[in-house]
Amino acid sequence: MVRPKTEEEIALMRENGLLVSRTLAEVGKIVAPGVSTLELNRVAETFIRDNGAIPSFLGYDGFPYALCISVNDVVVHGFPSGYILQEGDIVSVDCGTLYKGYNGDSAYTFPVGEVDAETQKLLDVTKESLYRGIAAAVAGNRTGDIGHAVQTYAESFGFSVVRELIGHGIGRNMHEGPDVPNYGRKGQGARLTDGMTICIEPMINAGLRNVYLAKDGWAVRTSDGRKSAHFELTVVVRKNQPELLSTFDFIEKNVEF
């Protein structure tokens, strides 16, 4: 049984949601050819700590960095490194915070310089599939309604949905119930109730949906080497329409693409 959050808890989670959203915008400002992914990590960790929070990914199950940074065919959980971003790359930046006992979580996939038309389409479709999933996050629906909305939209463009990695509940813990797959059937899965806080995060591949775990034990890569995009927002399930706790507004108003 997943316990809905109180309005007091949601208020604290809203603070986290705003902080992760602002952090991603700070990172986005320096995403460009010639910048290392380790520099993106440094900027994020500094910003999070300067705002009185803790980067919740750092040390989580042994993860050694503040951000998950996943370039091109890395779906999620990539390590920041000395890799220098190249024109035409895409880079998924997944960020988590721990502040006042609660967690925030959000992700955005940035284009690096100019990307080709197919890559831009992948980014646009993945982000729109997220918003389609969010629209289904109303009390009385089920997680399958969210997954169905994401899946049918993404697949209608010939893209594929990763099955092995899914969204999740969030609160005092980074990962709570319920599981929120990005695929499914309407009317199936856990029932959504008012006040439930969840992260919806489509991971959409340009090619096949198959993935594999890299040798570092963390990075998940596409089996065919084609690109993958990842967008994530934290949402409160409500009776009439969902409420966003994190937002892409800071990115899209302050970062030039």
CATH for 180: 3.90.230.10
Which distant-in-sequence residues (6+ apart) come within 8 Å of 108 by Cβ?
24, 28, 92, 93, 231, 232, 248, 251
How many CA atoms lie less than 13 Å away from 147 in the CB half-sphere? 25
Please check whether residue 118 lies inside any domain of the structure: yes
Residue 185 per-residue DSSP state: -
Please check whether residue 111 lies inside any domain of the structure: yes
Does the pLDDT value for residue 107 go beyond 90?
yes
Side chain identity at 27, as an amino acid letter?
V
Q: 178: cis peptide before it, omega within 30°?
A: yes
Please check whether residue 132 lies inside any domain of the structure: yes
Please check whether residue 2 lies inside any domain of the structure: no
Does the pLDDT value for residue 247 go beyond 80?
yes
Query: CA 164: distance to chain centroid?
Result: 15
Does the pLDDT value for residue 175 go beyond 80?
yes
Please check whether residue 32 lies inside any domain of the structure: yes
Contact (Cβ atoms closer than 8 angstroms) between residue 188 and residue 202: no
pLDDT at 38: 98
Based on the structure, what is the number of domains in the chain? 1
Alpha carbon of 154 to those of 169, 252, 255: distances in Å?
Answer: 22, 22, 25
pLDDT, mean of residues 79-107: 98
Tokens found for residue 136: 């289904």
Please check whether residue 257 lies inside any domain of the structure: no
Does the pLDDT value for residue 120 go beyond 80?
yes
Query: CA 89: distance to chain centroid?
Result: 18
Does the pLDDT value for residue 5 go beyond 90?
yes
Tokens found for residue 221: 């890569």
pLDDT at 154: 98
Tokens found for residue 69: 């940074």
Pairing of strands 90-99, 102-111: antiparallel
pLDDT at 255: 86
Share of the chain above pLDDT 70, in %: 100
Task: Indicate the pLDDT class of residue 241, thresholds 50, 70 and 90.
Answer: very high
Cα–Cα nearest to 113, from 134, 96, 90: 90
What's the mean per-residue pLDDT of the chain? 97
Predicted TM-score (pTM) of the model is 0.97
Write 42-45 long-range contacts (CB < 8 A, 24+).
44/93, 44/95
| CA distance linking residue 22 with residue 39, whole number of Å | 17
Domain that holds residue 171: 7-252
